[in-house]
Amino acid sequence: MILARAKAWLATLDWEKKVMLYAGVLALFPLLAYAVNSTPPPPPATRHQPRDVDTLIPKGFVLVPIEVQNYEALDSILGRFGLVDLFQAGADNGPGQRLVARNVRILRAPQNPTHFAILIAEDEVPRVLKSGGLFTVIVKRPDQVGTEFVKNPNLKRKKIVYGGS
């Protein structure tokens, strides 16, 4: 019924008005095609609230803040976290640096990027604290596995001697 009325109405129009009507309809096709094919705008970006560092610590591990002697060199190498070897800083008049641990996960403090902490098992904390507070770190490839603490070769071992005469 509507189609029949539209045909009757078009028949009453003269040739110039029909051309203008068709031109107007054709001009709408690109706009309609753009509206149909355009993707909707993405939803407003939701900012992820940064989680506190302590929520990222696995069970049985702790973050131990350490002082890094070569922290200025790390600024251009290390991002927020990485894998390092820990060396005990040598004294001015004493022997050189001593390897304390290999493949240790290190984290840059989010509030102060010049401070660092290492992620270690709770039972290894005394070894780190015994080594002092100042360390030199060497950055390693991130695919290394397993933290390994190095025993101090300078420690004198106690010997138990069994024997008689």
pLDDT tens for the chain, 165 residues long, are 788 888 888 788 888 888 888 888 888 888 888 877 777 766 666 555 556 666 678 889 998 999 988 888 888 888 888 899 888 876 555 566 788 888 889 988 888 888 899 999 999 888 888 877 788 888 888 776 667 676 665 555 555 566 654
How far is 142 from 105, CA to CA, in rounded Å?
Answer: 9
3-state secondary structure of 63: strand
Q: What are the extents of the domains in the chain?
A: 2-37, 53-149
Each residue's pLDDT tens digit, 46-71: 555 556 666 678 889 998 999 988 88
Q: For residue 110, give Cα distances in angstroms to 52, 80, 115.
A: 9, 8, 9
Tokens of 34: 């753009």
Decide: 106 and 117 in contact? Cβ < 8 Å: yes
Contacts of the segment 92-100: beta carbons below 8 A, 24+ positions apart: 97/136, 98/150, 98/152, 99/150, 100/127, 100/128, 100/131, 100/135, 100/149, 100/150
Q: For residue 61, give Cα distances in angstroms to 46, 109, 121, 125, 142.
A: 31, 17, 4, 9, 19
| Residue given tokens 């010049």 in the structure block | 114
3-state secondary structure of 88: strand
Alpha helices in the chain (DSSP H): 2-12, 15-37, 71-74, 125-130
- Is the Cα dihedral 96, 100, 101, 104 positive or negative? negative
